[in-house]
Amino acid sequence: MKRYRHRTVLGEEELSEALDGLAERLIPMLAGPEVTAIPVLGGAMIFAADLVRRLPAGLVMDFIRIQTYGGSTSPEKAAKPDWTPNPENVKGKHCLLMDDILDTGRTLTEARRYLLEEMGAAKVTIAVLIDKPVRRAVSIEADAFAVQYLEDLFLVGYGLDYRGHYRNLPHLLALETGDDGLPVPRTAESSF
Ligand code: IMP
Ligand code: MG
């Protein structure tokens, strides 16, 4: 990452350990038949791929896509699904809803509401890679998270993007943001 001032917050090994811990806490919550694992596309893609491989065999996977972010680092539109799972994977099923980060909470509130109210899920359990409670705008908590940050960090990598980029970084970085909330470009002199 050369373009923006940043620091690494979790390396590959730390991410792997955090996911081991999350899977351990999650497994007892998923006891019983008919679990459908549903990542929120696209941010949860990498996290979910690594998490489901730590969960017992037999679950079904399906996908929901909800978009809230435009070009800024703050939510600027309402959360709405534009890709929804196959109804037979949700109706009457225990859904494990996964996202990269629980920030304002709007995305997961809408995803959970949609699965329960519009698609008839029996139960929704929420697992996120990162819990960032400081910007919560609606009342929602994850059933389990891998890491929690109490500072208002803008994170990229391991699935999280800035304007669509950096999802494929294998570690998690925090971008330094300026007064406008936007990442600060890196200059030749910066050491950050
Ligand atoms: P929420 O609806 O505000 O809880 O935000 C959830 C969505 O916003 C996530 O699925 C992310 O795509 C995006 N998001 C929130 N915080 C960050 C961040 O720090 N970096 C990148 N994306 C973020
Ligand atoms: Mg996302």
Query: Could you tell me if residue 107 is inside a domain?
Result: yes
The predicted structure's pLDDT at residue 188: 62
Q: Is residue 191 part of a domain?
A: no
Distance 189 CA to ligand 1 centre (A): 30
Pocket test for ligand 1, best of 63, 67, 100, 134 (most atoms within 8 A of CB): 100
Q: Is residue 65 part of a domain?
A: yes
51-65, 105-119, 177-191: the lowest-pLDDT one: 177-191
Average pLDDT, the chain: 92
CA of 83 to the centre of ligand 2 (A): 13
Can you give the pLDDT at residue 69?
52
Range of the domain at 86: 11-69+77-151
Over residues 129-151, mean pLDDT: 97
Q: What band does 12 get if pLDDT is binned at 50, 70 and 90?
A: very high
Q: How far is the CA of 107 from the centre of ligand 2 (A)?
A: 8
**Is 103 in the active site?**
yes
Catalytic residue selected from 50, 100, 103, 131: 103
Q: Is residue 84 part of a domain?
A: yes
- Span 161-184, average pLDDT: 94
CATH number at residue 31: 3.40.50.2020
Q: What is the pLDDT of residues 78-118, one digit of tens each?
A: 788 999 999 999 999 999 999 999 999 999 999 999 999 99
> Is residue 188 one of the residues assigned to a domain?
no
pTM to 2 decimals? 0.92
**Contact 103 CB / ligand 1 (< 6 Å):** yes
For residue 156, being part of any structural domain is answered with no
User: And the tokens for 137?
Assistant: 């705008």
pLDDT at residue 19 in the model: 98
Q: Which ligand is nearest to the CA of 102?
A: 1
Question: Quick check: CB of 106 below 6 Å from ligand 1?
Answer: yes
* Number of domains within the chain: 1
Tens digit of each residue's pLDDT (9 = 90 or more) over 14-55: 999 999 999 999 999 999 888 999 999 989 999 999 999 999
76 Cα to the center of ligand 2, angstroms: 13
β-strand partners of 160? 157
Task: Tell me what pLDDT residue 70 has.
Answer: 47
